[in-house]
Amino acid sequence: MVSAIVILLAGLVAAVASFGLAYSDARELQDDMLRQIANLSIVRTTAPVASDTQTPDPDNDWITDQGSKVTIFHLPSNTAPAWLKRDLSPGLYTLDTGPEELRVYVSEEQNGRRKVVTQPTEVRDEIAFNSALFTLIPLLFLIPVLVGLIVYIVRNELAPITRLSASLDEQSAERPQPVSDDGLPHEITPFVHAINRLLGRVSLLMSQQRRFIADAAHELRSPLTALSLQAQNLKSADSIEVMRERIVPLQEGISRARLLTEQLLDLARTQSGESVKSGIDVSAMARELVAEFLPLAEARHIDLGIEEVAPLSLHADPEALRLILRNALDNAIKYTQDRGKVTLRMLSEDNHAVIEVVDNGPGIPVLEHDRIFEPFYRINGTAVGGSGLGLAIASEAAARMGGTVTLHEVQDGAGSIFRYRQKLSKEM
């Protein structure tokens, strides 16, 4: 409907413009006609019909065309109309004679006499209007025909889109499937392919969410079952000493369940929230985090330190960056043997900020480097307890900020390097 209105308005504008141009051209053609008549060699054939403004003059050649009302006469003449000035130079004029307005062309002959050709402007305007009207009428008839044709063509071409929307409405929201592009106009095909790619990403995301929910339910079931059994054991204790012994594993189980719940909430917030970026002094944040983990490291005689190759400032989400580094440090300290070494290193490389957590622990097999960032994934044979969510949370937070997290081997010994890399922003 909107396209039809636009076409109608455009057609009307084109019609008005066409009429105006044709009208102007017709008036110019009338002037050219006056010039051509004046340039003709006039031979007297009949005497003009006497009127109120003109009197026959035997000294002049008169021709009067009663159809176009063109009058031709010579000057000087004693019987010339009063409105015609004797000193008019050659050229075109529009003169008001009183009863009517005339278009006058004056030309000078070789003998010094002047030839005057006149025509009423009312007649000229009528001729120009009729001439322009003939160019306007076909266009006015063409506009509704054109609108009808365009509406018909658009409806037929877009009919497959209606069927496509119906097939999309019939799909299951839980398992969207790609739509077929058979019978669709070629101009629509790229759009359909983009929809299919989007549906593929949505399907993958929903599959990951279903897997996450299943894994989370499994991970929560075990500690909750253990807590239930420990509570029953505590209830059946027959002495204070036994009760105190059984409270210890119950408290540890509650702590593990609380930590797992907090990590699940962190992961959910990271996946659903939007990054609120601001300027961050990475060096100051690193010192705060090292101070936070220092008691845990000292309890196991782990050398925890900072290596600042270059001062860093980032335009990023402070909470997300803190979450990334906290999880990396927690994993490094947790899996590094007693009297080991963990270093938080900061440097700048190829217009990118690079933050690394380097440890000399047992390391992670190269084949596991990608899978280690999946939720709830843990390497077989790992003796240290955990939920397998720390690095998954770090990966999600990095993706939200436009950075990347990767895992690498230490080149000159055992251990792993957790690396966060983000492009330096010009806003800093």
Percent of the chain with pLDDT over 90: 7
Q: Domains of the chain: which residue ranges?
A: 2-128, 189-269, 275-423
According to the model, what pLDDT value does residue 384 have? Answer: 60
Domain 189-269 has CATH 3.40.50.300: no
Confidence of residue 49 (pLDDT cuts 50, 70, 90): very low
Q: What is the DSSP string of 330-384?
A: HHHHHHSPTT-EEEEEEEEETTEEEEEEEE-SS---GGGTTGGGSTT---TT--S
- Using one digit for the tens of pLDDT, what is the confidence trace for 306-327? 998 878 888 888 888 888 898 8
pLDDT tens sequence across 210-248: 776 766 676 667 667 777 877 777 777 777 887 777 787
Instruction: Look at domain 275-423 and name its CATH class.
Output: alpha beta
The two beta strands, 91-96 and 278-281, are: unpaired
The encoded tokens of residue 394 equal 């770090």
Q: What is the pLDDT of residue 271?
A: 62
Contact 144, 5 (CB under 8 A): no
344: left (phi over 0), alpha (psi -120 to 50) or beta: beta
Between the CA of residue 80 and those of 95, 98, 102, 116, 124, what are the distances in Å?
Answer: 14, 15, 15, 10, 22
Structure tokens that stand for 120 in this block: 């009423």
Cβ atoms of 140 and 15 closer than 8 Å: yes
Q: Is residue 335 within 8 Å of residue 361, measured between CB atoms? A: yes
Phi, psi (degrees; rounded to nearest 5) at 38: -65, -30
Q: Report the C-alpha gap between 100 and 97 in whole angstroms.
A: 6
**Comparison of pLDDT for 227 and 281, the residue scoring more:** 281
3 state DSSP class of 108: strand
Is the pLDDT at 47 greater than 70? The verdict is no
Instruction: Tell me the pLDDT tens digit for each residue of 381-401.
Output: 565 655 667 778 788 888 888
Task: To the nearest 10°, report the CA torsion of 383, 387, 391, 397.
Answer: -170
Alpha helix segments (H runs only) across 40-66: none
Task: Classify residue 300 as exposed, middle or buried by CB count within 10 Å of its CB (0-12, 13-18, 19+).
Answer: middle
